[in-house]
Amino acid sequence: MQQLKNFINGQYTLPVSNNWIDNYCPANGEVYGQIPNSSKDDVAQACRAAKNAFANWSQTTIEKRSRILLKISELLEKNLQRFAEAESTDNGKPISLAKTVDIPRAASNFRFFGNAITQFASESHESVGFNAINYTLRQPIGVVGCISPWNLPLYLFTWKIAPALAAGNCVVAKPSEVTPMTAYLLGELCNEAGLPKGVLNIVHGLGSTTGQAIVEHPDIKAISFTGGTATGAHIARVAAPMFKKLSLELGGKNPNIIFADCDYDDMLETTLRSSFANQGQICLCGSRIFVEQPIYNQFKTDFVARVKKLNVGHPAEATTDIGALVSKPHLEKVMQYVTIAKEEGGTLLCGGNKVLVKGFENGYYLEPTVIEVPTDECRVNQEEIFGPVVTLMPFTTENEALTMANKVKYGLSATLWTNNLKRTMRMSQQIQAGIVWINTWMLRDLRTPFGGVKSSGVGREGGFEALRFFTEAKNVCIKY
C-alpha cells in the first residue's frame, strides 16, 4: 500500500506528525493508500521553505516563470494517461472524463497563466495640473495558501496554484484528503520542469488539522479556497483577525431555466450533461430544472427516458457515463436527500437507489435521480446536494422563473434556454449569479471572471482577476 508524502522544498518528505489517514478507492470501497495527516509542524516547515524561496522567485523574470509553467503544462500532457488513471481511481470519476476534461484542463491552467502573466499590465495616471504621475505596482503577496476540494481534484488545485506562481508568489497547498493522488504526482513534474525548490509546497491532511494550520499560519497572507459554504465561512472567521486576503469559491444550487422557444434537442443533450456530469459533483451543475409549462410534460418524458439510459458503472470502463461518488459519507449524504424528497412530497421520476456494480459491490454507486418537487421551497430544492440528483418543476411566466431561480441562498451559475434576445438580456441582468450561460453549459474561457455571489462565495478567479488576487496593488506617485 502506497504511503504518500508531503512535497516540501522540492522533496518528498515524511510528516513530522507520523499520523496517517486511509485513502479509499470509491469504485470498490477499499483502502488503497495512506496520506499524512499533517500537523502544524509540517505546515510550518512548508511555510519556511516557501518563505525562503520567495526572495528569488519573486525576482525571477516573467519570461522564466512563464517558461517553467509552460513546461509543467507540457509534462502534464505527456503524462495524461498516468494522471487520468490516478484521478479516476482516487475520485471515482469515469476515466474518459479524467482524460478529456480534468487533466487537459490542469495542463491548460498552467499554459494559460504561463501566458497570461506576460500580458499582465498595471495602470498609470497622469495627474494633470499637479505635475505628477501615478503608477501602480502589482507585487506578489509572498506566501499564499491554496486549499482545494475533491470533485475536480487536479483541475481546481492547479486553477489556484498556476496564477499564484505566475504572479511570483510561493505556495503552500493542500488538496482534499479524499483525493490527494494527482497533487502528489504533480510535485515530481514541477521538479522536472525546473521549478525552484520551495516555490510550491504540498501538504496533505484533514481540513480540521492541516487546512486549519494553513489558515492560521501567520506567514500565509492570502488564501484561495474552493469547497463547502460552511467551511468557507469558518475560514473567513479564522482569517479575519489576521486580515488575510481571501478568495472563496463555495457551493451552488444552480437553476437551469428552459423556455418553450429553445432549441429542444440541443437543450435536452446539454441538460443531461449539466445534471449528471462527474456524478453531479460539480459546483456548476444545474441541479434545479425549471421548464416552461407548454413543454413541461414533453420534457419530463424525454428527459427521464434519457436519464434511464445512462450507464452507471466502474470508472475504468469506457462505456461508463456515471462512475462512483467520491466517498461513503458523501453517498450517504446524497441518499439522505432522496429520503427527504419523499418526505416532502416529491415524486421520484427515476433513480434514487444504490447501484451494485458486479464485482465492485462495495463501491459508492448511485442511480441518476430526477425528483419532481411540489414547491421550490422544499429542502431538496434549496440545499446543495452535490450528487446525481436534480429537481424538476414547471413555471408559467418569466417572472415566476426568475423569482424561483433567485430564491436560494446560493448564486454561482445559471443556465437559460431561449431564443428570445430581449428575454436573454432581461434575465441575465436580473439573475443573481456570477456566471450565466445562455443556450449552453460549462463553456469555459479561462480569461473570464469566475466566482459566485451570496453564499456561493466572494472574489473572482480566472484571467487577470486571479492575477490581481495574487498580487498587492501599490500606488507610486511621482511629482516632477
Residues 6+ apart with CB under 8 A from 283: 151, 226, 249, 250, 251, 252, 386, 412, 456
Binding mask 177-206 for ligand TXE (x = CB under 6 A): x----------------------------x
Instruction: Choose, by CB under 6 A, the member of 81, 127, 208, 339 that binds ligand TXE.
Output: 208
d(CA 333, CA 55): 46
Residue 281 C-beta: closest distance to ligand TXE, Å: 7
d(CA 45, CA 38): 11
Residue 347 C-beta: closest distance to ligand TXE, Å: 24
Residue 170 C-beta: closest distance to ligand TXE, Å: 19
C-alpha cell at 15: 510528516
d(CA 116, CA 120): 6
Based on the residue annotation, tell me whether 472 is a catalytic residue of this protein. Answer: no
Scored b (16 or more CB within 10 A) or e, 306-333 reads: bbeebebbbbeeeebbbbbbbbeebbee
d(CA 428, CA 405): 11
d(CA 304, CA 412): 26
Q: Judged by CB under 6 A, does residue 235 bind ligand TXE? A: yes
Of the pair 78, 409, the CB lying nearest ligand TXE is at 409
From the list 85, 87, 177, 249, the catalytic residue is 249
Of the pair 166, 239, the CB lying nearest ligand TXE is at 239
Of the pair 381, 418, the CB lying nearest ligand TXE is at 381
Residue 336 C-beta: closest distance to ligand TXE, Å: 11
Burial of 348 (0-12, 13-18, 19+ CB in 10 A): middle
Of the pair 42, 292, the CB lying nearest ligand TXE is at 42
Instruction: Choose, by CB under 6 A, the member of 193, 250, 370, 401 that binds ligand TXE.
Output: 250
Residue 367 C-beta: closest distance to ligand TXE, Å: 19
Q: Judged by CB under 6 A, does residue 251 bind ligand TXE? A: yes
Q: Judged by CB under 6 A, does residue 92 bind ligand TXE? A: no
Instruction: Choose, by CB under 6 A, the member of 24, 360, 386, 417 that binds ligand TXE.
Output: 386
| Binding segment toward ligand TXE, per CB under 6 A, in 69-77, 183-191, 225-233, 427-435 | 225-233
Q: Judged by CB under 6 A, does residue 147 bind ligand TXE? A: yes
Of the pair 28, 327, the CB lying nearest ligand TXE is at 327
Binding mask 102-141 for ligand TXE (x = CB under 6 A): ----------------------------------------
- Secondary structure letter of residue 277 according to DSSP: G
Q: Judged by CB under 6 A, does residue 463 bind ligand TXE? A: no
Of the pair 87, 249, the CB lying nearest ligand TXE is at 249
Residues 411-430 that bind ligand TXE (CB under 6 A): none
Residue of minimal Cβ distance to ligand TXE? 207
Residues 256-295 that bind ligand TXE (CB under 6 A): 283
Based on the residue annotation, tell me whether 262 is a catalytic residue of this protein. Answer: no
Residue 68 C-beta: closest distance to ligand TXE, Å: 25
Residue 103 C-beta: closest distance to ligand TXE, Å: 18
Backbone angles phi, psi at 103, to 5 degrees: -75, -45
Name the site residues for ligand TXE (rule: CB under 6 A): 147-151, 174, 176-177, 206-208, 211-212, 215, 226-228, 231, 234-235, 249-251, 283, 384, 386
Q: Which positions are catalytic? A: 249, 283
